[in-house]
Amino acid sequence: MESSANPPATSFHTPPSGQPFAANRPGAIEDLEAVLEHRFARPELLERALTHSSMAHEHGAASPVREDNETLEFLGDAVVGMVAAESVYRRYSELSEGALTRLRGALVSRRHLAEVAGRLNLGNYLLLGHGEERSGGRTKTALLANAMEAVIGALYLDAGLEAARRLIESRVIAPLVTSLREQLHADGGMGDFKSALQELLQARKQGQPEYRTTGETGPDHHKRFFVEVRVNNEALAEGEGRTRKHAEQDAAQRAIEKLRSAGEAE
């Protein structure tokens, strides 16, 4: 592994139609390797991690462009999620499962990963189709987050878990985790189960939770509310409480426990 100070941002041009990444600019791969502080034994993995599906789709089966980054994104998503979970557990093992889930979810959120990619100037290195280029793909949150995950997946395949862990710890976790923990300590919205569930679902790309009141019992001064939380029109869990807000929090907590148990069983 080679270390280097981050080079200044470089202006890149879209490569000619159908040209491989090396046509972008001589030395571009090496520049990004310096930013990532890793020299790839298989630089084609990094090239693939930077290739958006729009490039391959525009040129068709006869194109010399390599595979797009979607499967590397899938792998990187799993790696960054595992490393983030282990990291917050080791740092803050005294926290509840819901709080740890919230911390991890914020660290692996699309917004945060896109911000990390932005700090690495990753958008400058992307291979995009003409349509995506014209629509501002180099600055889109989704594309940047996906590319960041793909780069992590490529690094994992090239050099193993420890190399990927070093990048994730230094670029994804360390810049944010302390402030997140402080928010949690100050009860600034970090510790509630509804937020934790939303971040967990976001990290798993499973959609947004919806809460529906399913019933209430008792006199006005001693009511009990029942709330169901649903995702993609499917029931996840039901909670109850003395107010609707409490019932929603209970439902969210039960949903988190159910999702985590299901994930461990797989």
Q: Is 149 a catalytic residue?
A: yes
Please compute the mean of the pLDDT values over residues 11-16 and round it to a whole number. Answer: 35
Look at strands 209-217 and 234-241 and give their pairing. Answer: unpaired
Per-residue pLDDT band at 212 (split at 50, 70, 90): very high
Q: Is the pLDDT of residue 213 over 80?
A: yes
Q: Give the whole-angstrom CA distance, residue 134 versus residue 97.
A: 44
Residue of 58, 77, 192, 248 with catalytic role: 77
Q: Is 70 a catalytic residue?
A: no
CA angle 5, 9, 15 (to 5 degrees): 125
Range with the largest mean pLDDT of 12-26, 27-41, 46-60, 250-264: 27-41
pTM assigned to the model: 0.64
**Composition of the chain by helix, strand, coil, percent to 5:** 60, 10, 30
Residue of 58, 68, 115, 149 with catalytic role: 149
Q: Is the pLDDT of residue 1 over 90?
A: no
- Domains of the chain are 21-185 (1.10.1520.10), 193-265 (3.30.160.20)
Strand partners, 169: none
Chain position carrying tokens 């041009």 = 13
In whole numbers, what is the pLDDT of the chain averaged over residues?
82
Percent of the chain having pLDDT more than 90? 43
How does pLDDT run across 127-158, given as a tens digit for each residue?
A: 888 888 888 889 998 899 999 999 999 999 99
How does pLDDT run across 72-124, given as a tens digit for each residue?
A: 999 999 999 999 999 999 999 888 777 788 888 889 888 899 999 999 999 99
DSSP 173: I
Tell the burial category of 99 from Cβ atoms under 10 Å away from its Cβ (0-12, 13-18, 19+): buried
